[in-house]
Amino acid sequence: MNKPHALRAALEAALPELRNNPDRLTMWTEDGQLATRPGELHFTLHYTLKLVVIEYGRGIESILLPLLDWVAVNEPPLLQNPEARADGLSFRSEIISHSAEDIEITLKLSERVKAVKDAAGGFAFEYLGEPEDPPGMF
């Protein structure tokens, strides 16, 4: 999967606290599903990405702004599609002191992957950009 790594890089680039303390950002996936058609060497991964930022002192808004900027390019249906907007991005926060909170953000993501057979009989994987066609194309 490519998007979790890309999102981490974007958040670390935008937020010095995470760049300087990368262990404060934990990410994992849940509820993964695979969509494909028989006989094709490409597929779509659908999954939920969880992010947890611990002991964060600047407020969730400072995380959400670069996150939304990343989503606009990498998962636009979360902003454009009313159904995806309804439950595609959620968060919760635990206030642990007057100056810090633990923040959990949940994103529903998808990635299109194309497998290309090489001369040796193995495969290389290419992550495709966001489709111009409506979601659910394959």
Confidence of residue 4 (pLDDT cuts 50, 70, 90): very high
Largest CA distance in the chain: 60
Rounded to an integer, what distance in angstroms lies between the CA atom of residue 77 and that of residue 96? 33
Name residues whose C-beta falls within 8 Å of residue 67's C-beta, 6 or more positions apart in sequence.
7, 10, 11, 105
CA distance 73 to 6: 11
pLDDT at 119: 87
Per-residue model confidence as pLDDT tens digits over 43-84: 999 999 999 999 999 889 999 999 999 999 999 999 988 888
Assess contact for 64 and 72: CB atoms under 8 A: no
Q: What's the pLDDT tens digit per position in 72-81? A: 999 999 998 8
pLDDT level of residue 132 (50, 70, 90 thresholds): low
Rg of the chain in Å (alpha carbons) = 17
